[in-house]
Homo-oligomer: A and B are copies of this chain.
Amino acid sequence: MATMVEVARKAKVSISTVSHVLNGTRNVEPETRKRVLAAIASTGYRQDALARALRRSQTDSIGLVVSDAGEPAFAEMVHGVEHAAVENGLTLVLANSAENADREKKAVQTLLNRRVDGLILARAAESDPALLQALEQEKPPTILLDRIFSQLPFDQVGADNRETMRQLVTHMIVSGHRRFALVAGDVRVPTLQERMGGFTDASLEGRLGLDEQLIITGTDREALAEELGNSLRTGQITAVIACSTPLAALSLRTLARAGISTPRDIAFATFDGFDNSDLFQPRVTTVRQPAFDMGAAAVHLLVERLRTPEASPRTVRLQQRIEWRESTEDYRRQPAGD
- A interface list, Cβ under 8 A from B: 44, 46-51, 53-54, 59, 61, 69-70, 72, 75-76, 78-79, 82-83, 86, 91-96, 103, 107, 109-115, 137-138, 249, 252-253, 256, 274-276, 279-282
Contacts and interface: CB of A to CB of B under 8 A. Distances in A.
A50 B110 CA distance: 11
A137 to B, nearest CB: 8
Given A69-B75, A92-B94, A274-B279, 18 more contacts: A44-B137, A46-B112, A50-B50, A50-B53, A50-B114, A61-B114, A70-B76, A75-B75, A78-B78, A82-B96, A86-B96, A86-B107, A91-B95, A91-B111, A249-B276, A256-B279, A275-B275, A281-B282
18 contacts: A46-B109, A48-B54, A48-B115, A49-B110, A49-B114, A50-B114, A50-B115, A51-B54, A69-B78, A69-B79, A86-B103, A91-B111, A92-B95, A93-B93, A249-B276, A253-B279, A274-B274, A281-B281
Nearest to A80: B69
Interface SS of chain A: helix
Q: Give how many copies assemble into the complex.
A: 2
Given A93-B91, A279-B256, A48 B78 contact: no
A93 B96 contact: no
